[in-house]
């Protein structure tokens, strides 16, 4: 892969040579054209005299390097994305002048042209280490520094960075051809920003373009007034204007919650949120200026699940201002210190400071299910993961680092006590302000405030991989009372550690007044070792359902006793509490994935749940998991009838759902994923919704839902390329181009798959988002005959992709193009052959391939289980 990889050993060696304080003066010239921009950086730093080190830089051209007044020849000093700095003095100044390249991959400085108005938008994305794509830098988190940024940009543009603007000066410089897309050239302005506080390079940021803007302010707990701003593309301004006040309000609630909870006021000079196009992640915690994907600007109806996710994302990035920005991990092995804390505390803030009070049910169904899935792969890793190099870091932005870590922190706060937990966090933040910290630093502060020895806890939960299973065992007397309730804990062979859990056991029975299933008793206890007896349960009447891990306090797989399981399958939809439903549903899904519960039984349970479920994220994941069970896990001979049954039930449920409701919207959308060529009823419904001859009262056929219908009709070959082009011509926008690429790729023909395969691999003009849309469409058509020709081709192409694409694009291709509807036995055989012949391949690459292959292994195992029933 192009660009230098940085190992942990190299980073440690460099940190031993480069001494603080470090200061950067970075000048960017955004007026030189559509392909490149100018970059000049001056770095002042101390060092071990006589030692040598290197700067990181990925550039098309380096024209000048000066070290301590001496010119270095770029032809010899710059190689392999590094600038060698020999014979350092005690005090050093190095200046590097370069021509860097805009990306269309969301890495470095991304350039996007909005086809709806021709406007050009730029934004930076530097995590993990992509500041080096914009300026010369010691690009590792522990070499914190202060930064002075200045930017030369078109006069009509807005430029934002981490700090407030110090000055804006008119110049006589004119933008070069192509800089502004099809717009005419114009004069430029020089934007200069105030000096940053001490910070890591991956958190620096620059955004530029004719963004629409809104402003307000927040009065901080320390009395300071913090300016706040929100930005988005001009073409989205009308839609965004409807939500700006709400998003400002959510952010202010987050400020107040974190200030109160941690006892540390917001530490930076301003707080901007800029919604940007074609973004790879959900958002990024750049100090003082968070970038957020602008699919969170809602121009069409979205699920309540996505609306809530936007709130969690806003609060997640705000939490990073303390965890990750104010105090930063020393090396990427402690990435979880950033992400797990932000995920845990943003869910806590969402549940307690906003209207989304069921946020922990959302976390269970969405984030925790992600963790359980990844924790059962051979590629799982400890929460504190071993990170040997940057490539290891890329693949650790995963369900373990985010969701498992957050779940474990939820348990830790419960274990040590909430007040003591946050007292420890206060001490940690104050002690390590503007510097770097490690896991040991955090545990030391939590031990000091809680009085607990957390070394054993850390060894079990943070430093060991894998997930335990807790099984309920019940002995019931003849009179219906419980003689003994015990919990049996087991661990997988690969990770044989039994953990200590603080959890609750809930008893659930029918409320005679409402017919709903409600909690009637609850016990808290510590579970440790193989068997734990719930002493308080003895002598009590056996309930209809015994729920271990009530309130979802610990992280574990669950297995019910036989009577509770039978009751859960038949009555899940009757449970009153959203979190209880989410915990039970996740356990049933886990049993289905493990080949312990019939896929058809899970499907029918889910359909009953969907008739009454109101928690949007549980609803969303139930639909997604039911789809996996129906298309992949059912017995091959039964699959067609199961698909027909699910489609019919979804249409019936959508027709009966409240008009305009979230449930109706999700059900109709899900139904459109069950089309098969030749299904006249499906075609009639989809075409009818599009042309208005079929109506579901309250269902708005807006822009995005129109494209959902187009995609569905393309997948069954009712719509062809001309129909897709005609739809795009009605409204040519950034988003609709992505929809159109996906619709072309999802068409159910061999020619469409060949086109999509070629486009994804060879069309370098595709943006990251367009490439992902093509890859999704390629793999989404549920026909083995279209997928199987690509099984061998996929594994034959892996090495080429890894060598020729940036990391993100390689990951998108290797995950998106995997032909998962091909015969799983063939995919497993081919995948194992590839892995056996690539034992020395990059660990990150092996992990991606192993995850794909093991998904097929699971499909094969569970399909065979269901076929044998």
SS3 126: coil
Nearest to 689 by CA among 679, 680, 702, 676: 702
Residue that is written with structure tokens 């930064």 in the block: 147
Please tell me the distance from the alpha carbon of residue 128 to that of residue 284, in angstroms, as a whole number: 11
Q: Which residues pair with 20 in a beta bridge?
A: none
Residue that is written with structure tokens 């799983």 in the block: 824
SS3 524: strand
SS3 353: helix
Instruction: Kindly report the number of other CB atoms within 10 A of residue 698's CB atom.
Output: 12
Q: In whole angstroms, what separates CA 683 from the centre of its chain?
A: 34
Nearest to 421 by CA among 391, 442, 435: 442
Please tell me the distance from the alpha carbon of residue 841 to that of residue 124, in angstroms, as a whole number: 30
Q: Which segments of 115-157 are extended strands (E)?
A: 120-125, 146-154
Half-sphere exposure of 535 (CA within 13 A, CB side): 3
Tokens representing 817 are 């193009």
Tokens representing 457 are 């806890």
Q: How many angstroms separate the Cα of 74 from the Cα of each of 50, 56, 65, 95, 855?
A: 21, 13, 6, 12, 47
Q: Which residues pair with 161 in a beta bridge?
A: 206
Could you tell me if 748 and 787 are in contact, meaning their C-beta atoms sit under 8 angstroms apart? no
Cis status of the peptide bond prior to 21, with omega within 30 of 0: yes
Beta-carbon contacts of residue 44 (< 8 Å; ≥ 6 apart):
22, 23, 24, 91, 92, 93
Please report which helix (H) or strand (E) contains residue 398, including its range: none
Q: Which residues pair with 476 in a beta bridge?
A: 482
Please tell me the distance from the alpha carbon of residue 336 to that of residue 731, in angstroms, as a whole number: 42
Instruction: Kindly report the number of other CB atoms within 10 A of residue 21's CB atom.
Output: 11
Could you tell me if 506 and 547 are in contact, meaning their C-beta atoms sit under 8 angstroms apart? yes
Could you tell me if 5 and 389 are in contact, meaning their C-beta atoms sit under 8 angstroms apart? yes
Please tell me the distance from the alpha carbon of residue 613 to that of residue 611, in angstroms, as a whole number: 6
Could you tell me if 779 and 747 are in contact, meaning their C-beta atoms sit under 8 angstroms apart? no
Q: Write out the catalytic residue numbers.
A: 317
Please tell me the distance from the alpha carbon of residue 766 to that of residue 777, in angstroms, as a whole number: 15
Nearest to 30 by CA among 20, 42, 40, 21: 40
Tokens representing 285 are 């915690």
Nearest to 858 by CA among 833, 832, 824: 824
Fill in the DSSP letter of residue 49: T
Question: What residue spans of 719-842 are helical by DSSP H?
Answer: 721-730, 734-746, 750-762, 768-780, 784-787, 791-804, 807-816, 824-836
Question: What residue spans of 379-511 are helical by DSSP H?
Answer: 390-394, 405-416, 418-431, 439-450, 455-461
Total residues found in the chain within this entry: 869
Please tell me the distance from the alpha carbon of residue 718 to that of residue 626, in angstroms, as a whole number: 26
Fill in the DSSP letter of residue 175: P
Could you tell me if 779 and 821 are in contact, meaning their C-beta atoms sit under 8 angstroms apart? yes
**Paired sense of beta strands 517-527 and 557-559, if any:** unpaired
């Amino acid at each position: 892969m192009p660009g230098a990889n940085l190992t942990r050993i190299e980073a440690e060696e460099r940190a031993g040579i480069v001494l603080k304080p470090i200061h950067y003066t970075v000048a960017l010239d955004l007026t030189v054209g559509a392909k490149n921009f100018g970059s000049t950086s001056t770095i002042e730093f101390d060092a071990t005299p006589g030692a040598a080190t290197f700067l990181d830089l990925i550039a098309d051209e380096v024209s000048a390097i000066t070290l301590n007044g001496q010119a270095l020849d770029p032809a010899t000093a710059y190689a392999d994305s590094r600038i060698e700095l020999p014979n350092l003095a005690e005090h050093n100044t190095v200046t590097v002048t370069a021509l860097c390249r805009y990306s269309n991959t969301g890495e470095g400085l991304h350039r996007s042209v909005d086809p709806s108005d021709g406007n050009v938008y730029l934004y930076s994305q530097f995590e993990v280490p992509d500041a080096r794509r914009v300026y010369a830098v010691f690009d590792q988190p522990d070499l914190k520094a202060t930064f002075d940024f200045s930017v030369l940009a078109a006069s009509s543009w807005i430029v934002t960075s981490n700090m407030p603007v110090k000055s804006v000066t008119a110049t006589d410089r004119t933008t070069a051809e192509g800089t502004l897309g099809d717009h005419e050239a114009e004069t430029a302005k020089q934007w200069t920003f105030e000096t940053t506080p001490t910070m890591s390079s991956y958190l620096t940021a620059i955004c530029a373009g004719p963004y629409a803007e809104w402003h307000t302010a927040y009065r901080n707990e320390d009395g300071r007034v913090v300016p706040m701003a929100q930005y988005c593309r001009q073409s989205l301004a009308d839609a965004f204007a409807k939500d700006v006040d709400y998003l400002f309000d959510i952010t202010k609630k987050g400020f107040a919650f974190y200030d109160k909870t941690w006892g540390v006021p917001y530490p930076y000079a301003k707080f901007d949120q800029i919604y940007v196009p074609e973004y790879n992640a959900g958002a990024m915690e750049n100090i003082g200026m968070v970038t957020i994907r602008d699919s969170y600007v809602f121009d069409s109806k979205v699920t309540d699940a996505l609306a809530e996710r936007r709130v969690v994302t806003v609060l997640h990035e705000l939490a990073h201002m303390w965890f990750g920005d104010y105090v930063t991990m020393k090396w990427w092995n402690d990435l979880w210190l950033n992400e797990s804390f932000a995920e845990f505390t943003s869910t806590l803030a969402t549940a307690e400071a906003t209207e989304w009070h069921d946020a922990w049910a959302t976390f269970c169904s969405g984030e925790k299910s992600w963790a359980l899935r990844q924790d059962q792969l051979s590629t799982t890793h400890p929460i504190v993961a071993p990170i040997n190099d940057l490539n290891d870091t890329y693949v650790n932005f995963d369900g373990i680092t985010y969701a498992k870590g957050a779940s474990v922190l939820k348990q830790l706060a419960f274990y040590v006590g909430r007040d003591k937990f946050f007292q420890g966090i206060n001490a940690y933040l104050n002690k390590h302000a503007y510097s770097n910290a490690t896991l040991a630093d955090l545990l030391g502060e939590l031990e000091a405030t809680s009085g607990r020895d957390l070394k054993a806890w850390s060894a079990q939960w943070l430093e060991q991989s894998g997930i335990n299973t807790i099984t309920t065992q019940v002995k019931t007397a003849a009179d219906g009372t419980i003689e003994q309730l015990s919990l049996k804990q087991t661990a997988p062979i690969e990770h044989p550690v039994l953990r200590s859990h603080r959890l609750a056991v809930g008893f659930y029975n029918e409320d005679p007044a409402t017919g709903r299933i409600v909690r009637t008793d609850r016990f808290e206890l510590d579970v440790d070792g193989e068997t734990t007896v719930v002493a308080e349960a003895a002598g009590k009447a056996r309930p209809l359902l015994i729920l271990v891990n009530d309130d979802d306090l610990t992280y574990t797989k669950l297995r019910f006793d036989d009577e509770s399981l039978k009751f859960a399958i038949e009555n899940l939809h009757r449970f009153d509490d959203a979190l209880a439903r989410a915990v039970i549903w996740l356990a049933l899904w886990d049993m289905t994935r493990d080949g312990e519960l019939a896929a058809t039984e899970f499907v029918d349970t889910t359909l009953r749940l969907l008739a009454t479920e109101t928690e949007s994220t549980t609803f969303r994941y139930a639909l997604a998991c039911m789809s996996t069970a129906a298309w992949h896990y059912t017995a091959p001979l039964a699959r067609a009838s199961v698909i027909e049954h699910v489609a019919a039930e979804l249409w019936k449920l959508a027709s009966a759902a409240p008009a305009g409701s979230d449930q109706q919207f999700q059900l109709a959308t899900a139904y459109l994923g069950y089309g098969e060529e030749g299904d006249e009823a499906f075609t009639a419904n989809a075409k009818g919704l599009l042309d208005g001859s079929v109506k579901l009262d309250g269902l708005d056929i807006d822009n995005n839902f129109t494209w959902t219908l187009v995609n569905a009709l393309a997948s069954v070959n009712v719509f062809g390329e001309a129909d897709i082009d005609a739809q795009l011509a009605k409204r040519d926008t950034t988003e609709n181009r992505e929809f159109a690429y996906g619709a072309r790729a999802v068409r159910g023909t061999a020619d469409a798959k060949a086109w999509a395969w070629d486009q994804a691999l060879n069309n370098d003009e595709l943006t990251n988002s367009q490439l992902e849309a093509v890859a999704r469409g390629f793999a989404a058509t549920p026909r083995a005959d279209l997928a199987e020709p690509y099984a061998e081709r996929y594994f034959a192409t892996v090495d080429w992709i890894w060598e020729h694409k940036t990391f993100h694009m390689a990951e998108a291709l290797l995950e998106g193009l995997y032909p998962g509807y091909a015969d799983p036995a063939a995919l497993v055989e081919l995948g194992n052959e590839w892995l056996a012949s690539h034992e020395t391949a990059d660990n990150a690459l092996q992990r991606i391939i192993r995850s794909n292959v093991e998904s097929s292994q699971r499909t094969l195992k569970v399909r065979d289980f269901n076929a044998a029933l």
